[in-house]
A and B are shown apart, each in its own frame.
Chain A
């Protein structure tokens, strides 16, 4: 007998809140840490509302896709508020969330040189552990496209980090 919606949602929360929370925590900057719980709750509120749409064979990547949109919207609101206050960051001075907390300067510099899309797919694979098929479900692209993009991002990252001066 298929589980009820409530049961399925409870299982999704228990199984997926750790990776969803971790995904968001890594990328919170420039939002405050206090936003993390709200973003997790917002993500699972959407999951609850769309519980019938969550694919049974790709629950984690689908949920991360929702979290990705939630985070993007939150950062857009934050950026708009900064604009209201006239605190527009200078062009080129943008620091990604991941870079702001990296202690390895070479890794940080190499990531900074990547495009936003390349950096995103690289870190979804390296830090969130998604394979090519899962990347495809999260980013809503074909598995082949995900594999190609990941490979390209890895190649570029390797080039940039090898360009770094030896310290």
Chain B
């Protein structure tokens, strides 16, 4: 070999060194503990093509085969209503204004959302066909400390790791920005950089598609088992708490991405806020891996409407943060549900495990703001305590 190339070889900065994994066994176990996506997807498919929607018709043979295998499906025992206060992120905007509907006499009336009892009926447009849909058991990050460091690195932060007072939250701070990983049932990450603010321009200088691409790639780099769907974009002002706890308003662009798992919509979102010059002000999203998936038979949408009356008739349908039933509530109002969609909701089971399970989102084909009524879609033969189950949201860890 010529002297030139000997010099090149000798210039190897890693010459004489060998990279070694400190613990090969743990390394392998950590990786292989995450099921390969292809196997989960194959189990889900079971000969059914594409993502499953509420109106998808499944061949009788497939359902029969599934029902024959039903005893092997785990029964989902939902945990009691969660008393922890958190923000529930929904992929469907719910109305906050009174909803025009029909009262018991069939007369159009506006019913105040709180302090009212509802009776639901099914429009002929709702399907009574049997369907199946996947549910996923989730796995939290194995090592939250290492996970926080990893996430911080993805955001370019390399400060020291600190455990927060809640004991299930970790944070990395660097140059005024911070990345927090915390759990309130569902683990969630949150990034904030108060110094990343618009320079005062009221005009957006970065195309929204570029911001969308950045956010999508960042989430992909985080490596969790979900993808992002087309975001809802809003512009306005964002308030960010500075370290001194004062709040300032900035011009901003917010992107709210619905979270998707294996092609199925969920009721979770991942949200990004950028300055008008494209600097990332804040972002947050869920942090989970799919442990396993099961294909469950669903009750039909028509049966679901009937279940709304028995499972929810005694509950006043008010804002998610309140609304209580009172004994002297006005007469019942009848709501005719005409459409439904299927989305995955996050729920905690009595044994502490987290699952994404299919949820019907019923709505009224009415003028004005549309409201949705959610109902767990899985055949009740495979659930316990589903009527009192409440979903786990994607809480935003506080900075």
Contact = CB atoms under 8 A, between A and B. Distances in A.
Contacts of A18: 18-20
Nearest to B37: A49
B13 interface: yes
Nearest to A108: B11
A41 B158 contact: no
Interface in B1-38: 2, 4-5, 7-14, 17-21, 24, 27-28, 30-32, 34, 36-38
A143 interface: no
Contacts of B278: 84
Interface centre among B2, B36, B196 (most CB of A within 10 A): B36
Given A103-B11, A107-B7, A126-B9, A22 B17 contact: yes
B12 A41 contact: no
Nearest to A38: B150
A84 B21 contact: no
A101 B13 contact: yes
B279 interface: yes
Contacts of A38: 150, 153
A62 interface: no
Chain A interface extent, by class = 35 or more
B32 A127 contact: no
Contacts, number: 113
A68 B308 CA distance: 53
B11 A41 contact: no
Nearest to B18: A18
Contact of A77 (B2, B4, B217): B217
Contacts of B394: none
Instruction: Tell me which of B10, B28, B158, B221 has the highest count of chain A C-beta atoms within 10 A of its own C-beta.
Output: B28
A78 B214 CA distance: 12
B80 interface: no
A107 B11 contact: yes
Interface in A1-53: 6, 9-10, 13-14, 17-22, 24-26, 32, 34-36, 38, 40-42, 44-45, 48-49, 51
A154 B8 CA distance: 10
A41 B2 CA distance: 37
A81 B4 contact: no
Given A13-B27, A35-B153, A158-B2, A21 B34 contact: no
Interface string A117-160: 00000100011000000000000000000000000001001100
Contact of B21 (A9, A40, A76, A77): A40
A15 to B, nearest CB: 11
A59 interface: no
Given A41-B30, A42-B223, A127-B14, A49 B36 contact: yes
Given A81-B156, A127-B9, A22 B31 contact: no
A82 B149 CA distance: 19
Given A45-B34, A49-B38, A9 B4 contact: no
B154 interface: yes
A66 B234 CA distance: 37
A14 B217 CA distance: 30
B32 A74 contact: no
A158 B2 CA distance: 10
A72 B83 CA distance: 45
A9 B34 CA distance: 13
Contact of B14 (A25, A35, A44, A82): A25
6 contacts: A49-B36, A84-B278, A107-B7, A107-B11, A126-B5, A161-B4
9 cross-chain pairs, A with B, having the tightest CB-CB distances, nearest first: A21-B19, A81-B156, A101-B13, A107-B11, A127-B12, A104-B11, A22-B19, A126-B8, A26-B14
